[in-house]
Amino acid sequence: MFKKGVPMDIKVWMYLVYLAVSIGLTIWVARALSRNGQVFLEEVFADERLARAVNSLLVVGFYLLNLGYVTVAMKHPDPVGSTSQAMEELSKKIGLVLLVLGALHFFNVFALGRYRRSRLRQFATHPPIAPIGRLPLQPTPQNPYPTGPYPTGPIPPTGTQTASRPAGAQPDAGSTTNPPPSR
């Protein structure tokens, strides 16, 4: 594998730099998200102890997913002939690691935001219960217009129509006004 006096292949150097940068980025991002996400998790869960536990679990899952991806994506089947080719491949691999880190972060924020909104909806004040019955009607002043089936005042001459009822209709027949309150 490593022989004394034989220079290391460019590909091996590329792998070592890739692992060092990827693992360093993963640790740095995990610590930053853990430290800054604690406040968000405390608001989401409304319990500091639960928020710390979830934060720890998220960090472990973050490490497992990212380091697993880093090791799977490390393999490069083609030979690397020059340093510039190694740098290009290295930048592509580190760029993919950064994209995976960002995607996982946004997925976590989205999922926790949805959970927070649903929890806030549960604790929102609900409208009062609908009324079961009705309050008694307040006494109304005497209506100057008749409410019975026949008017009590002067009857208009026949053959003329009033603007309020069509010809042939009974005076106040089928009236929709409220009946007088019962006493």
Segment 136-169, tens digit of pLDDT: 777 766 666 656 666 566 666 665 555 555 555 5
Q: How many domains does the chain have?
A: 1
Residue 160 amino acid letter:
T
Residue 10 φ/ψ, nearest 5 degrees: -60, -35
Residue 45 lies inside a defined structural domain of this protein = yes
Which domain range does residue 69 map to? 10-122
Residue 31 lies inside a defined structural domain of this protein = yes
pTM here is 0.54
Q: Give residue-wise pLDDT tens across range 18-55.
A: 889 989 988 998 898 888 888 888 888 888 899 899 99
Residue 40 lies inside a defined structural domain of this protein = yes
Residue 27 lies inside a defined structural domain of this protein = yes
Q: Which two tokens stand for residue 139?
A: 């006494």
**CA 122 vs CA 48, 112, 116, 117, 126: distances in Å:** 20, 15, 10, 9, 9
Cβ 104 vs Cβ 64: under 8 Å: no
Q: Give residue-wise pLDDT tens across range 78-130.
A: 888 888 888 888 888 888 888 888 888 888 888 888 888 887 777 766 666 66
